Structure 1
Amino acid sequence: MLITDDFLPVPVPESLSATYLVPVAGLPPVSPKTAVRGLAGRLADPVYGLATQMLDSPLMSVDTRSIDEFPQLPPDLLTAFGATEAQLSRLAAASHLVVVQAEYRPGWPPAHEWAARAVAAAVAESVGGDVVDVFGLQFLDPATALKSLPDAQGRIRLVDWVLVPYSSDTEGLWFTTKGLRRFGLLELQTQGVPDHLTRAWGAVLTGAARRLLRDWTDGLAGEEVPAFVQLPVLATVTGHDIAVAYGNPEQHGATAPVLLRLELDPATDPDADSFLSLRPPPGHPGPDGRYFAAACATLFSGIEPDVRYARSGDAMSRAVATARAGLDDIRARFLADGLPPEAQLVVKYGLPGDDGPEYVWAGVSSWDAPERIVGASASDANTDPSVRIGSPVVVAVTEVVDWAVLDGTGVIEGGWTQAVLDAGERPHPTH
């Protein structure tokens, strides 16, 4: 194997396994094969065929066992990963567990995961119960589990298979992925992410996972499973990667790629996980967090700063009025955590300049007082050297001229002034 400074050799496991549980009160009324036949015509052919074939092979086992034979599933962790009270109650009332296990070689398709999830969803549907994904420690209702499986073209949403939990430490936020090991790849991690990038960096890490998973499975495409797959040390992430990972390939913008350096971080404890760490490329000056903020600004396009401002009565003036009219509502939704999952609220405000205001964007981190927004700058200002990407800012609501909600694909709500600029209407500054 050729080892160079451009590639990182990542070890490949000999085989992969998937385990799903279906809690039941009593014994299941139908066999797994009968339950899977009920999915005929509802699942894409590749998955339905995989499920039926693996059920008839030694690669899959389906057993019903007394729940007392298993260690208790941790309710606190299940709750942290989205379990509802109703799901936890059904688990507590269960007398048995249907255990679906499958094994397969590393590569694409991940037949062990697709087939085991399909069979578990079929069994859960037949008993009106739930699926427990043991790897992710997640409850899935049967409809959600089935929806996560590939379509007729073999496409999936990576967010249905890979979670991005995070925690806080003294240097900022620590992000990891949880799900790439399903496919044989080491999990990713990033440390030192600024607090205001919680949602944005989760989307970036998901896009990076999509790109690296594609490189990983390309390296496993041969007939023989290699001992190592060489991944590029400098990985690129684009808006398209993020959009595809979230299942919205048609919504991606033409963003510039962002470079991230890949480092192997082996575990010192034999029972702990090794990681692939994502860091800024070599030669980047300053703290890592500043680069991560700049990367988010690049990938979530459509929030460029501008130094133009509007005359009364023109299109820009109407855009500003529309945005300001919605400030109370968007604040209430922000405080109630009512924004879409993985979304980020940003506001546009004016900085005084010799030739009129310069309008810049800031990510909102808190908005406790109605008249004041606390956040972090999403761009470098020309008129104020203290306003830099990632720097903390306090914005008076009276200075806000626009707001927008961003997800991994760009602006999904708001951004009225940006729409005017993008349409080519350039109001002239007044003096």
Structure 2
Amino acid sequence: MLITDDFLPVPVPESLNATYLVPVKGLPRVSTKSAVAGLAGRLAEPVHGLARQMLDSPLMSVDTRPIGEFPELPPDLLTAFGATEAQLDRLAAATHLVVVQAEYRPGWPPAHEWAARAVAAAVAESVDGDVVDVFGLQFLAPDAALRSLPDEQGRIRLVDWILVPYSSDADGLWFTTKGLRRFGLLELQTQGVPDHLTRAWGAVMTGTARRLLRDWTDGLAGEEVPAFVQLPVLATVTGHDIAVAYGNPEQHGATAPVLLRLELDPATDPDADSFLSLRPPPGHPGPDGRYYAAACATLFAGIQPDVRYARPGDAMSKAIATARAGLEGIRARFVDGQLPRESQLVVKYGLPGDDGPEYVWAGVTSWETPERIVGVSASDAATDPTVRIGAPVVVETADVVDWALLDGTGVVEGGWTQAVLDAGQRPHTDN
């Protein structure tokens, strides 16, 4: 194996395993084979055929065991990953678990995951129950599990197979992925992410995972499973990677690629996970968090920094008027908790400057009174050295000229002034 500074050798496991559980009260009345046969016409045939073949092979086992023989599933973690009270109640009432396990070699397709999830979903549907994905510690409704499986072209939404949890530490947010090990790849992590990038950086992690997973499976395409796959030290991610990972390739055009440096972070504890760390590329000046914010500004419309104009034209004037007319309504939704889950509200406001106002974005954290907004800056201001990425800011509502609601794919509501700029209708400036 050739080792260079441009590539990082990542070890390949000898085999991969998938485990899914179906909690049941009593014993299933329908055989597993009959349940899987009932999926005919509802699954893409390559996956349906794969599930039937593995069910008849030594690569898959399906056992029904008394629930007391299995380690207790932690309700707190299940809740943290989205379990509902109804699902937890059904788990508490279960007397048995149907355990679906499959094993396969690393590579594409991940037959162990696709077949095991399909079989578990078929069993859960036959007993009006749930699927528990042991790897992700997630409940899946049978129909959701089936929708996550590949279509006729073998396409999946990667967001259905990996999670991106995060937690706070002294340097900001620590993001990790949970799900890449299904495919044999080490999980990713990023540390020191500014707090206001919670949703955006989760999407960047998902898009990067999609890009690296493609490189990973390309390296496993031969007949023999290699001991290592060489991944590029400088990984790239684009808006298209993010959109494909979320299953919406038509909703995001091409963006400039963002570079991320890949570092192997091996665990010192044999029971802990090793990670592939995402860092700014070599030579980047300043703190890592500043680079992450700039990367998000490149990949997502609506939080671009340093937008200036001195004499707005008609299109921009109308955009500002539209945005300001909606401030009362968006504040009411924010205060009442009526915004979409995991969305981020940002506002654009003006800072005085010698060459006219400078307009910057801030993520909203509190809006207790109509006249004043508390938030964190989403960009560095050129005219005010105290306004830096991640720094707390207090914004007078009278200074706000636009607002936008962001999710992992970009602007979902608002952003009228940005739409004018993106359309090329830039007003005159004194710059």
Q: Which bracket does the TM-score occupy, shorter chain normalised? A: over 0.9
Letter in 2 for 1:143: D
Matching residue of 1:292: 292
Change (3 A) 1:143 1:211: same
TM-score by length of 1: 0.95
TM-score by length of 2: 0.95
Separation of aligned partners in 1, 2:400 and 2:179 = 40
1:252 to partner: Cα distance:
1.5
Letter in 2 for 1:359: Y
Is 1:125 paired with 2:129?
no
Separation of aligned partners in 2, 1:93 and 1:11 = 42
Identity of aligned residues (%): 86
Separation of aligned partners in 2, 1:294 and 1:396 = 25
Matching residue of 2:211: 211
Matching residue of 1:308: 309
Letter in 2 for 1:405: L
State the secondary structure of the residue aligned to 2:307.
coil
8 Å contact 2:195–2:390 — kept in the other structure? no
1:256-276 Cα offsets, whole Å, 9 max, x none, are 111111111111111111111
Equivalences for 1:300-339 in 2 at 5 Å? 300-304=300-304, 305-308=306-309, 314-339=314-339
1:174 to partner: Cα distance:
0.8
1:211-259 Cα offsets, whole Å, 9 max, x none, are 1111111100101000000111111111111111111111113221111
Matching residue of 1:56: 56
8 Å contact 2:240–2:249 — kept in the other structure? yes
8 Å contact 2:22–2:129 — kept in the other structure? yes
State the secondary structure of the residue aligned to 1:367.
strand
1:147-179 Cα offsets, whole Å, 9 max, x none, are 111111111111111000011111111111100
Change (3 A) 1:230 1:311: closer
Separation of aligned partners in 1, 2:191 and 2:365 = 19
8 Å contact 1:364–1:373 — kept in the other structure? yes
Matching residue of 1:2: 2
8 Å contact 1:8–1:231 — kept in the other structure? yes
Matching residue of 1:43: 43
Segments of 5+ residues of structure 2 without an aligned counterpart are none
State the secondary structure of the residue aligned to 1:368.
strand
Is 1:185 paired with 2:170?
no
8 Å contact 1:253–1:410 — kept in the other structure? no
Letter in 1 for 2:236: T
Change (3 A) 1:75 1:303: closer
Separation of aligned partners in 1, 2:429 and 2:187 = 51
1:429 to partner: Cα distance:
6.6
Q: How many residues align?
A: 429
Matching residue of 1:201: 201
Matching residue of 2:343: 343
1:342 to partner: Cα distance:
4.4
Separation of aligned partners in 1, 2:376 and 2:413 = 20
Letter in 1 for 2:309: R
Segments of 5+ residues of structure 1 without an aligned counterpart are none
State the secondary structure of the residue aligned to 2:204.
helix
8 Å contact 1:309–1:356 — kept in the other structure? yes
Matching residue of 2:383: 383
8 Å contact 2:106–2:184 — kept in the other structure? yes
Letter in 2 for 1:271: D
Letter in 1 for 2:251: Q
Matching residue of 2:398: 398
Is 1:79 paired with 2:79?
yes
Change (3 A) 1:418 1:309: farther
1:2-46 Cα offsets, whole Å, 9 max, x none, are 111111111000000000000011111101111011111011111
